[in-house]
């Protein structure tokens, strides 16, 4: 492995890293919001909307992100909707992630004991107060492991952004390999930057999970 080559490639990977992180963060944030709304619709069986939400979950969970990106980036312009590559990446990640987040939130909502809501209503809480002060905090605590796993999964899925000509980490690695054939150095830097991106998420997620569970359920 040639360290001089690694040093010369490093600035390009730094730029690609920040692009990947930026789009990934926007996509994850969008996925969180979509997942929460969809889980709410399905769990509380809102007429019509619950069925549409269920179709959305099944569709996006059972189609690859690459296919979804191709449809948004290459298909929508045929219908008159031009979508920039960065917007396409964030939107595709958000829509895919929303379907997985929804299942995580829904499992958390389903795991909350009915006695919790009955007790809240018995204390005189409105249904809105019951949801935001009793059900949602406990459901969120139960959903944290799934949320963290989904965030890591979505950040790893950013590796397909290169298919729509985004200069992300994978695109940079393939570009440099195609130009100079320094495969070992290019892939070593690719692995390094993915670890830099994903390891903190894993560590912070584990800490948050422990703190939330301790706060909600005590030391059990």
Q: What is the per-residue pLDDT for 53? A: 94
Q: What is the per-residue pLDDT for 218? A: 59
Q: What is the per-residue pLDDT for 5? A: 85
Q: What is the per-residue pLDDT for 216? A: 62
Q: What is the per-residue pLDDT for 55? A: 95
Whichever domain contains 114, its CATH number is 1.10.3720.10
Note whether residue 197 is domain-resident.
yes
DSSP 161: G
SS3 for 123? coil
Note whether residue 19 is domain-resident.
no
Domain enclosing residue 142, as ranges: 26-217
Note whether residue 6 is domain-resident.
no
Dihedral sign from CA coordinates of 86, 33, 105, 217: positive
Note whether residue 121 is domain-resident.
yes
Note whether residue 11 is domain-resident.
no
Note whether residue 14 is domain-resident.
no
Is the distance from CB of 108 to CB of 139 less than 8 angstroms? yes
Give CA–CA dist 71/55, Å, rounded: 18
Per-residue pLDDT of the chain (220 residues; tens, 9 = 90+): 788 888 899 999 999 999 999 999 999 999 999 999 999 899 888 899 999 999 999 999 999 999 999 999 998 888 888 889 999 999 999 999 999 999 988 888 888 777 777 787 777 787 777 777 778 888 888 888 889 999 999 999 998 988 888 889 999 999 998 888 888 999 999 999 999 999 999 999 888 878 776 666 654 4
Give CA–CA dist 11/171, Å, rounded: 14
Note whether residue 62 is domain-resident.
yes
- The separation between the first and the last C-alpha atoms of the chain, rounded to the nearest angstrom, is 49
Give CA–CA dist 20/9, Å, rounded: 17
SS3 for 182? coil
Note whether residue 2 is domain-resident.
no
The reply to whether the predicted model has a pTM over 0.85 is yes
| Total number of domains constituting the chain | 1
């Amino acid at each position: 492995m040639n360290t001089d080559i690694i040093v010369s490639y490093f600035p390009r990977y730094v730029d690609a890293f920040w692009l990947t992180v930026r789009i990934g963060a926007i996509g994850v944030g969008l996925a969180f919001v979509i997942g929460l709304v969809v889980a709410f619709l399905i769990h509380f069986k809102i007429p019509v909307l619950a069925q549409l939400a269920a179709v959305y979950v099944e569709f996006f969970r059972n189609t690859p992100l690459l296919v979804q990106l191709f449809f948004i980036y290459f298909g929508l312009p045929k219908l008159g909707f031009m979508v920039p590559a960065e917007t396409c990446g964030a939107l595709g990640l958000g829509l895919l992630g929303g379907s997985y987040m929804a299942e995580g939130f829904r499992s958390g909502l389903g795991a909350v004991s009915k006695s919790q809501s009955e007790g809240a209503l018995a204390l005189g809480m409105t249904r809105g107060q019951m949801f935001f002060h009793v059900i949602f905090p406990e459901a969120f605590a139960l959903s944290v492991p799934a949320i963290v796993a989904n965030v890591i999964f979505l950040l790893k899925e950013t590796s397909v952004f290169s298919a729509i000509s985004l200069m992300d980490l994978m695109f940079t690695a393939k570009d440099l390999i195609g130009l100079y054939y320094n495969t070992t150095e290019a892939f070593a830097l690719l692995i390094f930057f993915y670890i830099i991106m994903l390891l903190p998420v894993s560590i912070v997620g584990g800490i948050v999970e422990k703190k939330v569970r301790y706060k909600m359920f005590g030391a059990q």
